[in-house]
């Protein structure tokens, strides 16, 4: 990969295709999620090594609760294993944050999430946001409710509402997303970072997430570097 590439500050990845990957191999869906989790850890380190400041990954949406109970439990157990591993890792220089509604999660998972967010990782190079029980519409509703509550308390007036204020009350506390990558061949956002993707560049790739590699990431970054981002200007 060329050293002259223009790299994004914030990458979002829709980690799609785990189930199809497993089905192709005659494996249970959770085998695909397990392989996908390994790829996530590898790509997180790749982003760190490239100096990407923020990576947001779509791990579990607000709609994913509709999946079979066994699959949901498998995903949550994978998250537990990942977080327990993080507790043992030192000086990875990767900070972890979670975005989404935490209310439905079990106490033990909530504790592991909090410990991960407070872990000593050394000097932070990359912050990884894991979108868990997350939906872009839900995030905007959350922001509106937070603002409405402040207006109700007399802390704000309706005239104070701006785009910046809405952004400040989102789950995500990162800059807007520069690049969104979606593997699996699908070409839609699926309720991911709706507010933060207003001026994102999109790269869709015909590879299932468990097969996604550093080379795929570099190819997406090369494509991003070619884009002329005008932000509504000329």
Residues annotated as part of the active site: 16, 64
Query: Exposed, middle or buried by CB within 10 Å (0-12, 13-18, 19+), for 166?
Result: middle
Q: What angle do CA 94, 38, 42 make, to 5 degrees?
A: 45
196 DSSP assignment:
T
Length of the chain (residues): 234
3-state percent helix, strand, coil for the chain, nearest multiple of 5:
45, 15, 40
CA–CA separation, 119 and 192 (whole Å): 26
Nearest to 126 by CA among 231, 17, 50: 50
User: Are 63 and 135 within 8 A, CB to CB?
Assistant: yes
């Amino acid at each position: 990969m060329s050293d002259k590439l223009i790299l994004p500050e914030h990458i979002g990845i829709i980690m799609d295709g785990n189930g199809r990957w497993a089905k192709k191999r005659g494996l249970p869906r959770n085998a695909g999620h397990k392989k996908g989790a390994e790829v996530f850890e590898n790509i997180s380190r790749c982003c760190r090594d490239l100096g990407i400041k923020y990576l947001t990954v779509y791990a579990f949406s607000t709609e994913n609760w509709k999946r079979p109970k066994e699959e949901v439990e498998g995903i949550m157990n994978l998250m537990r294993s990942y977080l327990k591993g993080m507790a043992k890792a030192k000086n990875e220089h990767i900070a972890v944050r979670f975005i989404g509604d935490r209310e439905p999660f079990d106490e033990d998972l909530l504790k592991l999430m909090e410990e991960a967010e407070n872990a000593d990782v050394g000097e932070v190079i990359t912050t990884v946001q894991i979108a868990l029980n997350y939906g872009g519409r839900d995030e905007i509703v959350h922001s509106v409710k937070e603002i409405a509550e402040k207006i109700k308390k007399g802390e704000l007036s309706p005239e104070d509402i701006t785009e910046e204020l809405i952004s400040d009350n989102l789950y995500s506390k990162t800059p807007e997303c520069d690049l969104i990558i979606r593997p699996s061949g699908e070409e839609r956002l699926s309720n991911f970072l709706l507010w933060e993707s207003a001026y994102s560049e999109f790269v869709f790739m015909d590879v299932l997430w468990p097969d996604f590699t550093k080379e795929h990431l570099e190819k997406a970054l090369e494509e991003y570097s070619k884009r002329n981002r005008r932000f509504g200007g000329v």
